[in-house]
Chains A and B, each alone.
Chain A
Amino acid sequence: MLKEIDITWILFAGILSLLFLVSIVGQIFKQMVSNEKMSAMVKVFNERVGLWWAMCGVFTVAAFTGGLGSIIVFGLTSFLLLREFITITPTRKGDHHTLFWVFFIILPLQYFFLLRDWYGMFIILIPVYAFLFIPLRIAITGETHGFMERTAKIQWALMICIYCISHAPALLKVDFPGEPKMGLRLLLFLCLIVQTNDITQRVFSYVHRNNGAKLVAGLVVSTILGASLWWATPFSILQSAAMAALIVFMGTAGNFCYAAMVQDRNKPGVVVVQTRQNVTERVISLCFAAPVFFHIARYYFTNRPPIAF
Protein backbone atom coordinates (compact mmCIF):
# COMPACT_ATOMS: atom_id res chain seq x y z
CA MET A 1 0.00 0.00 0.00
CA LEU A 2 1.32 3.40 -0.94
CA LYS A 3 1.82 5.97 1.74
CA GLU A 4 -0.19 9.19 1.69
CA ILE A 5 2.79 11.42 0.91
CA ASP A 6 3.92 9.15 -1.93
CA ILE A 7 0.56 9.43 -3.65
CA THR A 8 0.85 13.22 -3.72
CA TRP A 9 4.33 13.05 -5.23
CA ILE A 10 3.28 10.46 -7.78
CA LEU A 11 0.41 12.71 -8.81
CA PHE A 12 2.83 15.61 -9.14
CA ALA A 13 5.31 13.59 -11.12
CA GLY A 14 2.54 12.25 -13.33
CA ILE A 15 1.18 15.71 -14.09
CA LEU A 16 4.63 17.15 -14.72
CA SER A 17 5.60 14.39 -17.15
CA LEU A 18 2.26 14.69 -18.92
CA LEU A 19 2.78 18.42 -19.18
CA PHE A 20 6.29 17.91 -20.50
CA LEU A 21 4.98 15.55 -23.15
CA VAL A 22 2.18 17.91 -24.10
CA SER A 23 4.60 20.84 -24.38
CA ILE A 24 6.87 18.86 -26.70
CA VAL A 25 3.89 17.90 -28.84
CA GLY A 26 2.85 21.55 -28.92
CA GLN A 27 6.31 22.65 -30.07
CA ILE A 28 6.45 19.93 -32.74
CA PHE A 29 3.06 21.01 -34.06
CA LYS A 30 4.25 24.60 -34.09
CA GLN A 31 7.11 23.63 -36.42
CA MET A 32 4.99 21.38 -38.63
CA VAL A 33 1.80 23.34 -39.12
CA SER A 34 1.66 25.74 -42.02
CA ASN A 35 -1.97 26.62 -42.76
CA GLU A 36 -3.56 29.52 -40.92
CA LYS A 37 -6.45 27.84 -39.17
CA MET A 38 -4.26 25.09 -37.77
CA SER A 39 -1.58 27.46 -36.58
CA ALA A 40 -4.22 29.50 -34.72
CA MET A 41 -5.29 26.29 -33.03
CA VAL A 42 -1.71 25.42 -32.09
CA LYS A 43 -1.21 28.92 -30.73
CA VAL A 44 -4.23 28.61 -28.43
CA PHE A 45 -3.01 25.19 -27.37
CA ASN A 46 0.48 26.41 -26.54
CA GLU A 47 -0.87 29.39 -24.64
CA ARG A 48 -2.93 27.13 -22.43
CA VAL A 49 0.00 24.79 -21.88
CA GLY A 50 1.99 27.80 -20.70
CA LEU A 51 -0.78 28.52 -18.20
CA TRP A 52 -0.50 24.94 -16.95
CA TRP A 53 3.21 25.33 -16.34
CA ALA A 54 2.50 28.44 -14.30
CA MET A 55 -0.11 26.51 -12.34
CA CYS A 56 2.27 23.66 -11.65
CA GLY A 57 4.85 26.13 -10.39
CA VAL A 58 2.26 27.54 -8.02
CA PHE A 59 1.33 24.11 -6.71
CA THR A 60 4.91 23.13 -6.16
CA VAL A 61 5.40 26.25 -4.10
CA ALA A 62 2.16 25.51 -2.26
CA ALA A 63 3.28 21.98 -1.45
CA PHE A 64 6.47 23.27 0.15
CA THR A 65 4.93 26.13 2.10
CA GLY A 66 2.07 24.23 3.64
CA GLY A 67 -0.73 26.09 1.92
CA LEU A 68 0.33 29.63 2.75
CA GLY A 69 1.97 30.07 -0.66
CA SER A 70 -1.06 29.00 -2.61
CA ILE A 71 -3.42 31.12 -0.51
CA ILE A 72 -1.26 34.13 -1.34
CA VAL A 73 -1.18 33.21 -5.01
CA PHE A 74 -4.95 32.76 -5.15
CA GLY A 75 -5.40 36.03 -3.26
CA LEU A 76 -3.27 37.74 -5.88
CA THR A 77 -5.25 36.09 -8.68
CA SER A 78 -8.42 37.32 -7.00
CA PHE A 79 -7.00 40.83 -6.97
CA LEU A 80 -6.02 40.77 -10.66
CA LEU A 81 -9.37 39.26 -11.59
CA LEU A 82 -11.34 41.78 -9.56
CA ARG A 83 -9.35 44.62 -11.02
CA GLU A 84 -10.03 43.48 -14.56
CA PHE A 85 -13.64 42.69 -13.80
CA ILE A 86 -14.40 46.10 -12.29
CA THR A 87 -12.53 47.78 -15.13
CA ILE A 88 -14.80 46.25 -17.74
CA THR A 89 -17.92 46.79 -15.60
CA PRO A 90 -19.25 50.31 -15.85
CA THR A 91 -19.37 51.88 -12.39
CA ARG A 92 -19.94 55.52 -11.54
CA LYS A 93 -17.95 58.12 -9.70
CA GLY A 94 -20.09 57.62 -6.60
CA ASP A 95 -18.84 54.03 -6.36
CA HIS A 96 -15.28 55.08 -5.69
CA HIS A 97 -15.40 54.66 -1.92
CA THR A 98 -17.28 51.40 -2.20
CA LEU A 99 -14.66 50.05 -4.57
CA PHE A 100 -11.95 51.10 -2.18
CA TRP A 101 -13.61 48.92 0.48
CA VAL A 102 -13.94 46.05 -1.95
CA PHE A 103 -10.26 46.07 -2.90
CA PHE A 104 -8.60 46.89 0.37
CA ILE A 105 -10.91 45.56 3.09
CA ILE A 106 -13.20 42.82 1.84
CA LEU A 107 -10.71 41.00 -0.38
CA PRO A 108 -7.95 40.77 2.25
CA LEU A 109 -10.51 39.84 4.94
CA GLN A 110 -11.80 36.88 2.95
CA TYR A 111 -8.30 35.44 2.55
CA PHE A 112 -7.47 36.30 6.15
CA PHE A 113 -10.39 34.19 7.39
CA LEU A 114 -9.26 31.40 5.12
CA LEU A 115 -5.74 31.59 6.48
CA ARG A 116 -6.99 31.54 10.07
CA ASP A 117 -9.24 28.50 9.45
CA TRP A 118 -12.31 30.54 10.34
CA TYR A 119 -14.83 28.62 8.26
CA GLY A 120 -18.00 30.43 9.44
CA MET A 121 -16.76 33.89 8.54
CA PHE A 122 -15.16 32.66 5.32
CA ILE A 123 -18.51 31.33 4.16
CA ILE A 124 -20.73 34.29 5.14
CA LEU A 125 -18.51 37.37 4.87
CA ILE A 126 -19.44 38.16 1.27
CA PRO A 127 -22.96 36.72 0.93
CA VAL A 128 -24.11 38.33 4.20
CA TYR A 129 -21.95 41.15 5.52
CA ALA A 130 -20.57 42.52 2.26
CA PHE A 131 -23.97 42.03 0.66
CA LEU A 132 -25.57 44.31 3.24
CA PHE A 133 -22.67 46.72 3.44
CA ILE A 134 -22.28 47.50 -0.28
CA PRO A 135 -25.76 49.05 -0.80
CA LEU A 136 -25.38 50.98 2.44
CA ARG A 137 -22.04 52.42 1.36
CA ILE A 138 -23.47 53.40 -2.02
CA ALA A 139 -26.55 54.97 -0.39
CA ILE A 140 -24.34 57.05 1.91
CA THR A 141 -22.56 58.64 -1.06
CA GLY A 142 -25.91 60.11 -2.08
CA GLU A 143 -25.45 59.29 -5.78
CA THR A 144 -28.61 57.29 -6.37
CA HIS A 145 -28.51 57.10 -10.16
CA GLY A 146 -28.71 53.40 -11.13
CA PHE A 147 -28.55 52.34 -7.49
CA MET A 148 -29.80 48.79 -7.98
CA GLU A 149 -27.64 48.11 -11.03
CA ARG A 150 -24.51 49.39 -9.35
CA THR A 151 -25.15 47.38 -6.21
CA ALA A 152 -25.76 44.25 -8.24
CA LYS A 153 -22.66 44.74 -10.39
CA ILE A 154 -20.38 45.17 -7.43
CA GLN A 155 -21.93 42.27 -5.54
CA TRP A 156 -21.53 40.05 -8.59
CA ALA A 157 -17.90 41.06 -8.86
CA LEU A 158 -17.40 40.21 -5.19
CA MET A 159 -19.04 36.82 -5.52
CA ILE A 160 -17.19 35.74 -8.65
CA CYS A 161 -13.79 37.33 -8.16
CA ILE A 162 -13.34 36.84 -4.43
CA TYR A 163 -15.87 34.44 -2.96
CA CYS A 164 -16.05 31.76 -5.63
CA ILE A 165 -12.39 31.59 -6.49
CA SER A 166 -11.35 31.53 -2.83
CA HIS A 167 -13.07 28.14 -2.55
CA ALA A 168 -10.27 26.61 -4.61
CA PRO A 169 -7.53 27.25 -2.01
CA ALA A 170 -10.11 26.51 0.71
CA LEU A 171 -9.78 22.85 -0.31
CA LEU A 172 -6.35 22.95 1.32
CA LYS A 173 -8.01 23.63 4.65
CA VAL A 174 -10.54 20.81 4.56
CA ASP A 175 -9.61 18.17 7.10
CA PHE A 176 -9.76 14.73 5.52
CA PRO A 177 -9.21 12.35 8.45
CA GLY A 178 -5.83 10.64 8.25
CA GLU A 179 -4.85 12.27 4.96
CA PRO A 180 -3.22 15.64 5.54
CA LYS A 181 -2.28 16.16 1.86
CA MET A 182 -5.70 15.30 0.48
CA GLY A 183 -6.74 18.96 0.14
CA LEU A 184 -3.75 19.69 -2.06
CA ARG A 185 -4.51 16.70 -4.26
CA LEU A 186 -8.15 17.73 -4.61
CA LEU A 187 -7.09 21.25 -5.55
CA LEU A 188 -4.83 19.75 -8.21
CA PHE A 189 -7.68 17.52 -9.37
CA LEU A 190 -10.03 20.50 -9.66
CA CYS A 191 -7.61 22.69 -11.60
CA LEU A 192 -6.52 19.84 -13.83
CA ILE A 193 -10.08 18.92 -14.85
CA VAL A 194 -11.15 22.55 -15.36
CA GLN A 195 -8.14 23.23 -17.54
CA THR A 196 -8.43 19.99 -19.48
CA ASN A 197 -12.03 20.79 -20.28
CA ASP A 198 -11.18 24.37 -21.36
CA ILE A 199 -8.26 23.32 -23.52
CA THR A 200 -10.16 20.46 -25.15
CA GLN A 201 -13.15 22.65 -25.93
CA ARG A 202 -10.97 25.36 -27.38
CA VAL A 203 -8.84 23.11 -29.53
CA PHE A 204 -11.87 21.13 -30.63
CA SER A 205 -13.72 24.24 -31.73
CA TYR A 206 -11.09 24.55 -34.49
CA VAL A 207 -11.61 20.95 -35.56
CA HIS A 208 -15.39 20.94 -35.62
CA ARG A 209 -17.83 23.79 -36.00
CA ASN A 210 -20.62 22.15 -34.07
CA ASN A 211 -20.92 23.56 -30.54
CA GLY A 212 -22.39 20.35 -29.15
CA ALA A 213 -19.45 18.30 -30.41
CA LYS A 214 -17.08 20.65 -28.63
CA LEU A 215 -18.91 20.23 -25.34
CA VAL A 216 -19.05 16.46 -25.66
CA ALA A 217 -15.34 16.29 -26.47
CA GLY A 218 -14.51 18.32 -23.36
CA LEU A 219 -16.78 16.18 -21.21
CA VAL A 220 -15.40 12.86 -22.48
CA VAL A 221 -11.72 13.75 -22.24
CA SER A 222 -12.05 15.34 -18.80
CA THR A 223 -14.22 12.58 -17.36
CA ILE A 224 -11.79 9.89 -18.52
CA LEU A 225 -8.90 11.85 -17.02
CA GLY A 226 -10.89 12.31 -13.80
CA ALA A 227 -11.77 8.63 -13.53
CA SER A 228 -8.17 7.60 -14.15
CA LEU A 229 -7.03 9.77 -11.23
CA TRP A 230 -9.35 8.13 -8.69
CA TRP A 231 -6.39 6.68 -6.73
CA ALA A 232 -5.27 10.16 -5.70
CA THR A 233 -8.69 11.22 -4.40
CA PRO A 234 -11.09 10.06 -1.69
CA PHE A 235 -13.50 8.95 -4.44
CA SER A 236 -14.14 5.59 -6.09
CA ILE A 237 -13.61 5.33 -9.86
CA LEU A 238 -17.26 6.08 -10.58
CA GLN A 239 -17.43 8.89 -8.06
CA SER A 240 -14.27 10.34 -9.50
CA ALA A 241 -15.75 10.32 -12.99
CA ALA A 242 -18.94 11.92 -11.67
CA MET A 243 -16.96 14.63 -9.88
CA ALA A 244 -15.02 15.36 -13.07
CA ALA A 245 -18.29 15.57 -15.00
CA LEU A 246 -19.63 17.99 -12.40
CA ILE A 247 -16.53 20.17 -12.70
CA VAL A 248 -16.90 20.13 -16.49
CA PHE A 249 -20.54 21.14 -16.18
CA MET A 250 -19.79 24.05 -13.86
CA GLY A 251 -16.74 25.18 -15.85
CA THR A 252 -18.78 25.20 -19.04
CA ALA A 253 -21.50 27.17 -17.25
CA GLY A 254 -18.84 29.74 -16.35
CA ASN A 255 -17.67 29.98 -19.95
CA PHE A 256 -21.25 30.48 -21.13
CA CYS A 257 -21.79 33.31 -18.67
CA TYR A 258 -18.52 34.92 -19.74
CA ALA A 259 -19.58 34.74 -23.38
CA ALA A 260 -22.88 36.41 -22.48
CA MET A 261 -21.04 39.12 -20.58
CA VAL A 262 -18.68 39.81 -23.48
CA GLN A 263 -21.58 39.96 -25.94
CA ASP A 264 -23.38 42.44 -23.71
CA ARG A 265 -20.27 44.63 -23.57
CA ASN A 266 -19.60 44.51 -27.30
CA LYS A 267 -22.69 46.54 -28.14
CA PRO A 268 -21.98 49.46 -30.45
CA GLY A 269 -21.28 52.65 -28.56
CA VAL A 270 -19.84 50.88 -25.52
CA VAL A 271 -16.18 51.64 -25.10
CA VAL A 272 -14.20 48.88 -23.50
CA VAL A 273 -10.89 49.53 -21.81
CA GLN A 274 -8.19 47.39 -23.39
CA THR A 275 -6.95 44.86 -20.88
CA ARG A 276 -3.78 43.00 -21.50
CA GLN A 277 -4.04 39.80 -19.55
CA ASN A 278 -7.58 38.50 -20.01
CA VAL A 279 -7.58 37.07 -16.52
CA THR A 280 -11.36 36.71 -16.48
CA GLU A 281 -11.46 34.55 -19.58
CA ARG A 282 -8.86 32.21 -18.14
CA VAL A 283 -10.23 31.65 -14.66
CA ILE A 284 -14.00 32.10 -14.95
CA SER A 285 -14.51 28.35 -15.36
CA LEU A 286 -12.51 27.73 -12.18
CA CYS A 287 -14.60 30.37 -10.37
CA PHE A 288 -17.80 28.52 -11.21
CA ALA A 289 -16.51 25.04 -10.49
CA ALA A 290 -14.62 25.68 -7.25
CA PRO A 291 -17.45 26.33 -4.75
CA VAL A 292 -19.60 23.44 -5.95
CA PHE A 293 -16.70 21.01 -5.96
CA PHE A 294 -15.60 22.26 -2.56
CA HIS A 295 -18.96 21.73 -0.90
CA ILE A 296 -19.61 18.32 -2.36
CA ALA A 297 -16.13 17.08 -1.48
CA ARG A 298 -16.42 18.52 2.00
CA TYR A 299 -19.94 17.31 2.83
CA TYR A 300 -19.76 13.81 1.46
CA PHE A 301 -16.15 12.82 1.98
CA THR A 302 -15.38 14.12 5.46
CA ASN A 303 -17.15 13.50 8.72
CA ARG A 304 -16.40 16.88 10.25
CA PRO A 305 -18.91 18.98 12.19
CA PRO A 306 -20.41 21.48 9.74
CA ILE A 307 -18.70 24.58 11.12
CA ALA A 308 -15.08 23.43 10.80
CA PHE A 309 -13.01 23.27 7.63
Chain B
Amino acid sequence: MKDLNELVSRVLCWGSRTIAGVTARWIDCEPSTRQRIYFANHSSHLDILILWSSLPVEIRKVTRPVAAGDYWLKSKVRRFLVNKIFNAIVVQRPTKGGHLRDAVKAINDTLSGMGENYSLIIFPEGTRGDGYEMANFKGGIYSLAKAKPGIEFVPVFLENLNRILPKGELLPVPLISSISFGKPFKLEEDENKKDFLKRARQSIINLQNI
Protein backbone atom coordinates (compact mmCIF):
# COMPACT_ATOMS: atom_id res chain seq x y z
CA MET B 1 0.00 0.00 0.00
CA LYS B 2 2.83 2.33 0.87
CA ASP B 3 4.52 1.63 -2.45
CA LEU B 4 1.30 2.34 -4.28
CA ASN B 5 0.99 5.71 -2.56
CA GLU B 6 4.58 6.48 -3.43
CA LEU B 7 3.88 5.63 -7.07
CA VAL B 8 0.72 7.73 -7.19
CA SER B 9 2.64 10.57 -5.64
CA ARG B 10 5.43 10.37 -8.24
CA VAL B 11 3.00 10.18 -11.16
CA LEU B 12 0.97 13.05 -9.75
CA CYS B 13 4.07 15.23 -9.37
CA TRP B 14 5.26 14.55 -12.86
CA GLY B 15 1.80 14.91 -14.41
CA SER B 16 0.87 18.15 -12.71
CA ARG B 17 4.23 19.74 -13.45
CA THR B 18 3.86 18.77 -17.11
CA ILE B 19 0.30 20.01 -17.51
CA ALA B 20 1.08 23.28 -15.80
CA GLY B 21 4.49 23.60 -17.54
CA VAL B 22 6.10 24.68 -14.29
CA THR B 23 9.45 26.41 -14.02
CA ALA B 24 10.65 26.62 -10.42
CA ARG B 25 12.96 29.46 -9.44
CA TRP B 26 14.73 29.74 -6.10
CA ILE B 27 15.67 33.37 -5.60
CA ASP B 28 17.93 34.16 -2.61
CA CYS B 29 16.68 30.96 -1.07
CA GLU B 30 18.48 27.65 -0.68
CA PRO B 31 16.30 24.56 -0.76
CA SER B 32 16.59 23.01 2.68
CA THR B 33 14.90 20.37 4.81
CA ARG B 34 15.03 22.53 7.93
CA GLN B 35 11.67 23.44 9.44
CA ARG B 36 10.11 26.29 7.48
CA ILE B 37 6.74 27.75 6.62
CA TYR B 38 6.11 28.20 2.90
CA PHE B 39 3.32 30.68 2.25
CA ALA B 40 1.88 31.52 -1.16
CA ASN B 41 -0.75 33.48 -3.03
CA HIS B 42 -3.86 31.43 -3.71
CA SER B 43 -5.93 31.55 -6.89
CA SER B 44 -6.47 27.99 -8.08
CA HIS B 45 -7.08 24.48 -6.82
CA LEU B 46 -3.82 23.59 -8.52
CA ASP B 47 -1.83 25.78 -6.12
CA ILE B 48 -1.41 23.22 -3.38
CA LEU B 49 -0.53 20.48 -5.86
CA ILE B 50 1.95 22.55 -7.82
CA LEU B 51 3.72 24.01 -4.82
CA TRP B 52 4.00 20.61 -3.22
CA SER B 53 5.26 18.90 -6.38
CA SER B 54 7.79 21.66 -7.08
CA LEU B 55 9.63 20.99 -3.84
CA PRO B 56 12.64 18.68 -4.15
CA VAL B 57 11.58 15.19 -3.07
CA GLU B 58 13.50 15.11 0.21
CA ILE B 59 11.93 18.41 1.25
CA ARG B 60 8.50 17.28 0.05
CA LYS B 61 8.70 14.31 2.43
CA VAL B 62 8.96 16.57 5.46
CA THR B 63 6.49 19.22 4.31
CA ARG B 64 2.79 19.18 5.16
CA PRO B 65 0.27 21.45 3.46
CA VAL B 66 -2.50 22.90 5.59
CA ALA B 67 -5.79 22.05 3.87
CA ALA B 68 -9.30 23.28 4.56
CA GLY B 69 -11.56 20.49 5.76
CA ASP B 70 -14.71 21.90 4.18
CA TYR B 71 -13.21 21.35 0.73
CA TRP B 72 -10.70 18.54 1.07
CA LEU B 73 -12.79 16.09 3.08
CA LYS B 74 -15.75 16.24 0.72
CA SER B 75 -15.04 13.31 -1.59
CA LYS B 76 -13.14 10.04 -1.48
CA VAL B 77 -10.51 11.19 -3.98
CA ARG B 78 -9.85 14.41 -2.07
CA ARG B 79 -9.62 12.52 1.23
CA PHE B 80 -7.18 10.08 -0.34
CA LEU B 81 -5.08 12.96 -1.66
CA VAL B 82 -4.85 14.92 1.58
CA ASN B 83 -4.38 11.92 3.85
CA LYS B 84 -2.22 9.55 1.86
CA ILE B 85 -0.44 11.68 -0.73
CA PHE B 86 0.02 15.21 0.58
CA ASN B 87 0.11 14.07 4.21
CA ALA B 88 -1.77 17.30 4.82
CA ILE B 89 -2.89 18.81 8.10
CA VAL B 90 -6.65 19.17 7.71
CA VAL B 91 -8.15 22.03 9.70
CA GLN B 92 -11.63 23.53 9.87
CA ARG B 93 -11.66 27.04 8.48
CA PRO B 94 -13.01 29.39 11.13
CA THR B 95 -16.23 30.88 9.77
CA LYS B 96 -16.74 34.60 9.56
CA GLY B 97 -18.04 35.94 12.86
CA GLY B 98 -17.57 32.49 14.36
CA HIS B 99 -16.11 31.64 17.71
CA LEU B 100 -12.58 32.58 18.52
CA ARG B 101 -12.02 29.07 19.81
CA ASP B 102 -12.46 27.69 16.24
CA ALA B 103 -9.53 29.79 15.11
CA VAL B 104 -7.49 28.77 18.14
CA LYS B 105 -8.24 25.12 17.46
CA ALA B 106 -7.15 25.46 13.82
CA ILE B 107 -3.85 26.97 14.94
CA ASN B 108 -3.32 24.33 17.63
CA ASP B 109 -4.06 21.51 15.16
CA THR B 110 -1.54 23.00 12.77
CA LEU B 111 1.12 23.35 15.45
CA SER B 112 0.71 19.80 16.68
CA GLY B 113 0.79 18.52 13.08
CA MET B 114 4.04 20.37 12.56
CA GLY B 115 5.84 18.92 15.52
CA GLU B 116 9.55 19.69 15.58
CA ASN B 117 10.40 18.42 12.08
CA TYR B 118 7.69 19.14 9.57
CA SER B 119 7.59 22.23 7.37
CA LEU B 120 4.29 23.77 6.34
CA ILE B 121 2.60 25.01 3.20
CA ILE B 122 -0.02 27.66 3.93
CA PHE B 123 -2.13 30.11 1.96
CA PRO B 124 -2.56 33.10 4.29
CA GLU B 125 -5.31 34.70 2.18
CA GLY B 126 -7.54 31.98 3.60
CA THR B 127 -9.32 31.36 0.31
CA ARG B 128 -8.76 31.54 -3.41
CA GLY B 129 -8.69 35.02 -4.96
CA ASP B 130 -9.52 36.04 -8.51
CA GLY B 131 -5.86 35.97 -9.54
CA TYR B 132 -5.66 39.70 -10.28
CA GLU B 133 -4.87 41.01 -6.83
CA MET B 134 -3.90 39.25 -3.65
CA ALA B 135 -6.33 39.61 -0.75
CA ASN B 136 -5.15 40.80 2.67
CA PHE B 137 -3.63 38.10 4.84
CA LYS B 138 -5.56 36.51 7.67
CA GLY B 139 -4.03 36.51 11.12
CA GLY B 140 -3.17 32.80 11.22
CA ILE B 141 0.32 33.25 9.83
CA TYR B 142 1.11 35.70 12.64
CA SER B 143 -0.16 33.29 15.29
CA LEU B 144 2.16 30.64 13.88
CA ALA B 145 5.08 33.05 13.97
CA LYS B 146 4.32 33.88 17.59
CA ALA B 147 3.99 30.24 18.60
CA LYS B 148 7.17 29.20 16.79
CA PRO B 149 9.66 32.01 17.39
CA GLY B 150 12.66 31.92 15.07
CA ILE B 151 11.03 29.85 12.35
CA GLU B 152 11.77 30.83 8.76
CA PHE B 153 8.98 32.04 6.49
CA VAL B 154 9.53 31.48 2.76
CA PRO B 155 7.39 33.58 0.40
CA VAL B 156 6.22 31.68 -2.69
CA PHE B 157 4.74 33.34 -5.74
CA LEU B 158 2.60 31.15 -7.99
CA GLU B 159 2.16 32.68 -11.40
CA ASN B 160 -0.42 31.91 -14.08
CA LEU B 161 -2.06 28.97 -12.31
CA ASN B 162 -5.27 30.98 -12.12
CA ARG B 163 -5.28 30.98 -15.92
CA ILE B 164 -4.71 27.23 -16.13
CA LEU B 165 -7.53 26.40 -13.73
CA PRO B 166 -9.44 29.49 -12.52
CA LYS B 167 -11.74 29.50 -9.56
CA GLY B 168 -15.03 27.82 -10.44
CA GLU B 169 -13.75 25.92 -13.50
CA LEU B 170 -13.48 22.16 -13.91
CA LEU B 171 -11.26 21.76 -16.97
CA PRO B 172 -7.67 22.98 -17.10
CA VAL B 173 -6.10 24.71 -20.09
CA PRO B 174 -2.46 23.72 -20.57
CA LEU B 175 -0.47 26.95 -20.25
CA ILE B 176 2.98 27.57 -18.83
CA SER B 177 3.32 28.69 -15.22
CA SER B 178 6.13 29.56 -12.88
CA ILE B 179 6.77 29.26 -9.19
CA SER B 180 9.25 31.48 -7.35
CA PHE B 181 10.65 30.90 -3.88
CA GLY B 182 11.86 34.07 -2.23
CA LYS B 183 14.24 35.04 0.56
CA PRO B 184 13.30 33.49 3.92
CA PHE B 185 12.59 35.86 6.82
CA LYS B 186 11.64 35.69 10.48
CA LEU B 187 9.34 37.55 12.81
CA GLU B 188 11.21 40.52 14.29
CA GLU B 189 11.21 40.77 18.05
CA ASP B 190 9.10 43.90 18.40
CA GLU B 191 7.07 43.49 15.21
CA ASN B 192 3.30 43.79 15.66
CA LYS B 193 0.66 41.80 13.81
CA LYS B 194 -0.26 44.46 11.29
CA ASP B 195 3.34 45.11 10.24
CA PHE B 196 4.17 41.43 9.97
CA LEU B 197 1.15 40.64 7.79
CA LYS B 198 1.93 43.60 5.58
CA ARG B 199 5.59 42.61 5.25
CA ALA B 200 4.70 39.01 4.44
CA ARG B 201 2.23 40.04 1.76
CA GLN B 202 4.71 42.51 0.30
CA SER B 203 7.40 39.81 0.08
CA ILE B 204 5.20 37.88 -2.36
CA ILE B 205 4.41 41.00 -4.36
CA ASN B 206 8.14 41.69 -4.63
CA LEU B 207 8.65 38.30 -6.24
CA GLN B 208 6.30 39.23 -9.07
CA ASN B 209 8.74 41.71 -10.47
CA ILE B 210 11.93 39.68 -10.43
Contact = CB atoms under 8 A, between A and B. Distances in A.
Do the two chains belong together in a single complex?
yes
Contact of A273 (B159, B171, B173, B174): B159
Contacts of A3: none
Contact of A100 (B21, B173, B178): B173
Contact of A87 (B162, B166, B175): B175
Contacts, number: 46
Interface secondary structure of B, over-half rule: loop
Interface string A87-107: 100010100100110010000
B195 to A, nearest CB: 26
A258 B131 CA distance: 28
B30 interface: no
Given A93-B131, A93-B162, A87 B173 contact: no
B173 A271 contact: no
Contacts of A100: 171, 173
Contact of B163 (A84, A91, A271, A274): A91
A93 B173 contact: no
A99 B159 contact: no
Interface string A267-285: 0000101111000000000
Contacts of B160: 87, 273
Contact of A103 (B174, B177, B208): B174
Contacts of B112: none
Contacts of A103: 173-174
A84 B166 contact: no
B48 interface: no
B166 A93 contact: yes
B130 interface: yes
Contacts of A7: none
Interface in A132-157: none
A83 B177 CA distance: 10
Nearest to A93: B166
B170 to A, nearest CB: 10
Contacts of B171: 100
A84 B160 CA distance: 12
A16 interface: no
Interface residues on B, range: 20 to 34
Contact of A83 (B23, B169, B175, B208): B175
A84 B176 contact: yes
Contacts of B166: 93, 96
Nearest to B43: A93
B209 interface: yes
A281 B208 CA distance: 24
A96 B169 contact: yes
B105 interface: no
B25 A83 contact: no
Interface in A269-308: 271, 273-276
A63 interface: no
Contact of A96 (B23, B173, B174, B178): B173
Nearest to A90: B163
A72 interface: no
A273 B23 CA distance: 9
A93 B173 CA distance: 11
A86 B174 CA distance: 10
Contacts of A273: 159-160, 176-178
A103 to B, nearest CB: 6
B173 A274 contact: no
A271 B174 contact: no
Interface of A: 79, 83-84, 86-87, 91, 93, 96, 99-100, 103, 271, 273-276
26 contacts: A83-B174, A83-B175, A83-B176, A84-B176, A86-B173, A86-B175, A87-B21, A87-B160, A87-B163, A87-B175, A87-B177, A96-B163, A96-B166, A99-B173, A99-B175, A100-B171, A100-B173, A103-B173, A103-B174, A271-B159, A273-B177, A273-B178, A274-B23, A275-B21, A275-B23, A275-B176
